Amino acid sequence: MILAVSLAISAIFGSGVFLLLQRDLLRVVVGIVFVSNSAILFVIAAGLSRGDAPIYPLPEGGLLGAGTSDPLVQAMALTAIVISFSTAALLLGLVYRLYAAHRTVDVEDISEAETREAEALEKDGDLGEPEREEEPQGKPAEVELGEETR
């Protein structure tokens, strides 16, 4: 049993890491979900025991005669599942935000587009001085705020 669980954990973790190293941001998110789930499996494996369901009131004498199984790991796994799915949602939100701006989820394309924009800005505004880097950041934020208030 221990061997099977550890094989499963390592397979999930490994494929998660493989996906994390891709350039496609969606795959990165899926990779994070895989890695988190392998950790959740690890949490369960940390207290793996055979026994009755730990639901109060406990059955008289026990059904399997092996006591109850460890409830703590299940509580931990549940909490970790909730955390991992909420962070996955947040990551997807960030990816969507990038997709809406650049129409691509490839990290290299996005950084290329950003470099092009920065170069275009530099040509327009003659941003020679490093001191002035902050200026183009302040203004668009205010514009965005105007859009949000609609």
Rule CB under 8 A: which residues touch another protein? 20, 25, 28, 32, 35-36, 38-40, 42-43, 45-47, 72-73, 76, 79-80, 83, 86-87, 90-91, 94-95, 97-98, 101-102, 107, 110-111, 114, 117, 130-135, 137, 140-142, 144-145, 148
Q: Cβ closer to another protein: 48 or 63?
A: 48
Instruction: Give me the least distance between CB of 51 and another protein, in Å please.
Output: 15
Q: Cβ closer to another protein: 124 or 137?
A: 137
70-79 long-range contacts (CB < 8 A, ≥24 apart) are: 72/47, 73/43, 73/44, 73/46, 73/47, 73/48, 74/44, 76/43, 77/40, 77/43, 77/44
- CA-to-CA separations, 27 to 23, 77, 88, 95, 106, in angstroms, rounded: 8, 24, 12, 11, 10
Q: Cβ closer to another protein: 3 or 137?
A: 137
